[in-house]
């Protein structure tokens, strides 16, 4: 498996401006969230990137991409049918190749030198199959994520064989079907917003377009079917994801980037000063 393409989704009604937000990256440089995401992707050896956007957003995204704009193919999502539809719109770009997929409203901070996307691409290359990044997540956060159940791969403590996929399960559903031995009580393996996917996923999404249904197309439904058809693994990433589309999400991501970067000591000092101020 040679993963050289990536597809990023950023066309959702509540998502389209999020990648344009600006933060200070780990290197102390002011960048858009989109540029930070693109640098995450390129660190994994990706050469070409497609971004699914809402009609009319291309110029703003080109500007936000900074020096990486020349690597991007924009795909407009007209008459949108949800997240799965946004991914499927990039099928002409992926062209029967495996591809890395990221969402446009998450930022990632690795623990250690290897970035999150590189960890995932290496796992998919080593095991020659689709691999989704996951993170143990408190049950109170299940409403924001798809989640998986399965069992650990022998002698691979961070790798799991996926048996079940549920989109935004309730705690009761998760307790009944998604328990994974070894996780802390009340925690489940939730998607990280990052996947290496095989062409079979595009076939499964295409099948949803042919049903005649007018509802949203679901990536989770496609991944659930994928787990029944071919080898499909989950990798517990050495790192953390930050959903910058939720309340205080940008603040949390900015603090995480600062704590992992060159300005850590300066930011810590500023935080101590803030905490010392009496209201």
The rounded distance, in Å, linking the Cα atoms of 194 and 44 is 12
- Residue 211 has a pLDDT of 63
pLDDT in tens, the chain (279 residues): 899 999 999 998 878 899 999 999 999 999 999 999 999 999 999 999 999 999 999 999 999 999 999 999 999 999 889 999 999 999 999 999 999 999 999 999 999 999 999 999 999 999 999 999 999 999 999 998 999 999 999 989 899 999 999 999 999 999 999 989 888 999 999 999 999 999 999 999 999 987 655 678 999 999 999 999 999 999 999 999 999 999 999 999 999 999 999 999 999 999 999 999 865
Please report the beta strands in the chain, taking only residues with DSSP state E, as ranges in sequence order. Answer: 5-10, 22-24, 30-32, 48-53, 72-76, 99-103, 106-110, 130-138, 146-153, 156-167, 187-197, 232-236, 239-243
Say what the pTM is: 0.93
The rounded distance, in Å, linking the Cα atoms of 242 and 246 is 9
Residues 105 and 15: beta-carbon distance below 8 Å:
yes
Instruction: Give residue limits of the domains in the chain.
Output: 5-276
> From 3.90.550.10, 3.40.50.1220, 3.50.50.60, 3.40.50.720, which CATH number describes the 5-276 domain?
3.90.550.10
């Amino acid at each position: 498996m040679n993963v050289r393409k990536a597809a990023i989704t950023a066309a959702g009604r509540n998502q389209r401006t999020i990648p344009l937000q600006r933060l200070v990256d780990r290197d102390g440089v002011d960048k858009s969230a989109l540029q930070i995401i693109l640098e995450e992707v390129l660190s994994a050896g990706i050469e070409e990137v497609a971004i699914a956007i809402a009609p009319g957003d291309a110029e703003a995204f080109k500007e936000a991409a900074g020096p990486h704009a020349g690597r991007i193919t924009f795909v407009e999502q007209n008459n949108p049918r949800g997240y799965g539809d946004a991914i499927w719109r990039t099928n002409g770009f992926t062209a029967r190749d495996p591809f890395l997929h990221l969402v446009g409203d998450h930022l990632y901070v690795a623990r250690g030198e290897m970035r999150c996307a590189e960890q995932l691409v290496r796992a998919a290359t080593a095991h020659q199959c689709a691999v989704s990044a996951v993170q143990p997540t408190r049950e109170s956060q299940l409403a924001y994520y798809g989640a998986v159940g399965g069992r650990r791969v022998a002698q691979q403590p961070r790798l799991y064989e996926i048996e079940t996929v549920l989109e935004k399960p309730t705690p009761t559903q998760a307790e009944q079907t998604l328990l994974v031995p070894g996780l802390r009580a009340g925690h489940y393996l939730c998607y990280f917003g990052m996947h290496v996917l095989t062409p079979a996923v595009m076939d499964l999404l295409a099948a949803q377009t042919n049903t005649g249904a007018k509802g949203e197309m679901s990536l989770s439904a496609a991944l659930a079917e994928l787990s029944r058809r071919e080898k499909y693994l989950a990798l517990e990433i050495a790192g953390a994801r930050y959903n910058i589309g939720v309340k205080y999400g940008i603040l949390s991501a900015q603090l995480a980037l600062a704590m992992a970067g060159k300005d850590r000591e300066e930011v810590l000092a500023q935080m101590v000063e803030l905490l010392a101020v009496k209201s």
